[in-house]
Chains A and B, each alone.
Chain A
Amino acid sequence: MSLLTEKKPAAGVPVPQSKRPGPARRKGAAGRFAVSGFLWVYAVIAVAPLLVMVVSSLRTTREMARNPLALPLNPNFASYSKAWVEASFGTFFVNSLLVTVGSVLISTIVSLMAAYVLARSKSRVTGIIEAVFLSGLMLPVYLAILPVFYLLDSMGLVDNKFGLIMVYAALSIPFSVFVLTSFFRQLPLELEEAARIDGAGSFTMFWHIMLPLVKPAIATVVVFRFVPIWNDFFYPLILMRSKENYTLPVGLTTFFGEYQTDWPTLFAGLVIATIPLVVLFLVATKQIVAGLTAGMSK
């Protein structure tokens, strides 16, 4: 991703004829309106089904069966209390938080360190290591469930959040290394060379100079690993046995089984399970967007 270095225009840019700017300005207003409209329309498409989910959680199954399109005339909040009480969402939420934050933290830290070296090194060995990491991106993750289980079993880490954290951290390394290495590669070498001349050690260089420059990449990596780990139900299902250790998605799937036809309660549970992630994302999105745009307009 060559985002930061300036480039000459590609060979093949047509030599344009000169035109008067007049008509372009008048077209601009109409064009802007069309663009706005397009953006809003797609925003509605993006959000509408989720809104339906929220609205449906406030109706009853009978209402929905008879009249799929109506609004809840008598909002029925019983579905939320049912979902919260019967489904132990509190415990699951805390577990999800611990596991997700733990694994994202570990994988981001180790990937940062590895990516820095991989980006700067030209030796064959590190090249091979990088290729191995990248091939990890292509591994069908569900395939290894049995061997992973036996591995953790031999370590005594089944039904143990730490085991799950390590597995998720390991699975996140390929993607994190992928994104971080390309960002590191964009950074000009001169900064490091200058720092070396001033006598900086590797670690100082890493911590004080390189890290702040790749903050947007870190934010991207964190968000795009946080979400899939938070929503994963397959690994905790097999690796966790006791209900106290379940994460939110696993709790949800058992919930699904029991309330298949009790749509409002089902939707209420889904809304409850999604809201924390939305809140977390809203908090983080400012960082990502600010970081991405700030980093770009160097």
Chain B
Amino acid sequence: MKVRPRHLIAALALAMLPLTACAPGSSSPAADKAAGTNASGCTSPETLKVWSWRPEDVAAYKKIFTSYEEKNCVKVDFQAFKNTEYNQILSTGLTGSNGPDVVQARAYGALQPLIVGGNLTDITGKVEGLDGMDKTIVTGAQGKADGKTYGVPFATQTMQVFYNKKIFKDEGVEVPTSWDDFIKVNEKIQGSGMTPLAVGAKDAWMMPFIHDIFGSAEYGGKDFRDGVQTGKKTFTDAKYVSSIQNLKDLQGFMPKDVVGASYTDAQVLFTNEQAAMFPGGSFELGFFQKQNPELDLGVFQVPVRSTSASQQPVSAAYADGNWAINAKSPKQEASLKLLQWMASKEFGQHVVDDLKQFSPVAGVTFNDPVMKEIWDLYQKSPAPYTLLVDFRYGTPSGTDLMGSGVQELFLGSKDAAGVAQKVQDGVSQWFKPTS
């Protein structure tokens, strides 16, 4: 009877079971309640639980919060969870007991369920710094139905093309100023055996992204979006179809079998200098620099045709997310104070310097030359990332439709007009123009 090892394990486990029940979570409620801000010093700091979906930024945030902690007699307990699971963790966190106080929340459409469910505190008019921010960005923190503000945007993400300066120099090409130039640049790079565009179409979420990078100016950026909002335009508009066609025209310059290549494959291609260009978001900058510090990169906006709806190249952009207050938090005042600090220039500068993100706060300065270049381009000619900003308020979402639509485009099962029709049919299920 060889039961002895199992008996041992069983005994051990049984002995430990009562211990597991007694072990409390990380913070004991008793310490939290003893909040004290003395005028002179700080004897019992209040703990604020802050949640985020950026585990990559944990170290940087802990550093950033130390300055706030000292000045305000607060201890910030910062926790980050993986992006793809954050939504479920957040819903249970906001509805259960012992939840977080301040949370990162998604922007635009994805924010609405939390607002409608009453999970977030209304902060309209209570945070000064919001007035200085770009309107497109602040919309991301507002309720669609009630128009109230529920959060402080924490980052703007812009969309453009990153390019490898060294490869361009070796190939003898320059940053293109017209669409035809752009095609010629791609052809030249491809001619020498290098992949011109690092794109991975396996990850559907990236497809509406590159569509806006290569097509926003073609369909007219902000003007088009305003037109759709008021009902004067639809996604079957000729210029919108040709913006989708752009992707098909560029497919030849992307890796072969692009639908089988993943987003991370594309990132590796670019950081390994096996591809010349990477259409991507500003959030890639910090990542690229970390992966390959010797990579000499620059950015440019995709140039236009003479027939494009907008004659000015644009940088599409969107709010990445917001800082919001848990409606059930017992520390409303302290949380609001933290939010106000997060809309301040001080915090904004930290975001730029330590996180390499684009803070939407007015008046921050960029020391990294590439960051400055990205921001200047964006300021010169901004555009909203239409499908994400405006068309995620219902199911099916615009980004999902475009995501699988572009995959079908690359696979050859749909043409540009078909994809446009798919998007239009899908969003018209729930979207009503405003006038």
Contact = CB atoms under 8 A, between A and B. Distances in A.
A contacts B directly (C-beta below 8 A): yes
Interface of A: 61-62, 65-66, 98, 101-102, 105, 145-146, 149-150, 153, 158-162, 165, 212, 237-238, 241-245, 253-254, 256-258, 260-261, 283, 287
Contacts of B83: 257
B268 interface: yes
Interface string B239-278: 0000000000000000000000000100111011010000
A258 to B, nearest CB: 6
A98 B274 CA distance: 46
Given A244-B26, A253-B85, A257-B83, A98 B13 contact: yes
Interface residues of B, number: 43
17 contacts: A61-B268, A61-B272, A65-B268, A65-B269, A66-B272, A66-B274, A101-B12, A102-B17, A105-B13, A105-B14, A160-B23, A165-B20, A241-B98, A254-B55, A257-B56, A261-B267, A261-B271
A238 B82 CA distance: 12
A287 B6 CA distance: 11
A145 B97 CA distance: 16
Contacts of A256: 82
Interface string B73-104: 00000011111110011011101111000000
Contact of B20 (A150, A160, A287): A160
B95 to A, nearest CB: 8
Given A162-B21, A242-B26, 17 more contacts: A66-B272, A146-B91, A149-B92, A149-B96, A158-B98, A160-B21, A241-B93, A241-B98, A243-B79, A244-B26, A253-B85, A254-B82, A257-B55, A257-B84, A260-B264, A261-B267, A283-B5
Given A62-B272, A287-B2, A241 B25 contact: yes
Nearest to B88: A238
B39 interface: no
Contacts of A65: 268-269, 272, 274
Interface of B: 1-2, 5, 9-10, 12-14, 16-17, 20-21, 23-27, 55-56, 79-85, 88-89, 91-93, 95-98, 264, 267-269, 271-272, 274, 291
Contacts of B13: 98, 101-102, 105
Contacts of B23: 160-161
Contacts of B1: 212
A145 B85 CA distance: 13
Nearest to B81: A254
Contacts of A161: 20-21, 23
Contacts of B97: 153, 158
Contacts of B27: 242
Give 4 closest A-B pairs by Cβ, nearest first: A242-B26, A159-B25, A162-B21, A161-B20
B25 A160 contact: yes
Nearest to B12: A101
A105 B267 contact: no
Contact of A150 (B17, B96, B98, B272): B96
Contacts of A237: 81, 85, 88-89
Nearest to A233: B85
Contacts of A66: 272, 274
- Give the one of B2, B20, B55, B89 with max A CB within 10 A: B20
A182 to B, nearest CB: 22
Contacts of A245: 25
Pick the most buried of B23, B92, B267, B274: most chain A CB atoms within 10 A of its CB.
B92
Please indicate which of the listed interface residues A165, A212, A241 has the most CB atoms of chain B within 10 Å of its own CB.
Answer: A241
Nearest to A152: B96
Nearest to B18: A162
Contacts of B20: 98, 102, 160-162, 165
Contacts of B5: 283
Nearest to A162: B21
Contacts of A283: 5
A132 B268 CA distance: 51
Nearest to B21: A162
A254 B81 CA distance: 7
A62 B295 CA distance: 14
Contacts of B271: 261
A245 B21 CA distance: 12
Nearest to A156: B97
Contacts of A165: 17, 20
Contacts of B272: 61-62, 65-66
Given A101-B13, A253-B82, A238 B92 contact: yes
Nearest to B91: A146
Most buried by A among B17, B95, B267: B17
A159 B79 CA distance: 14
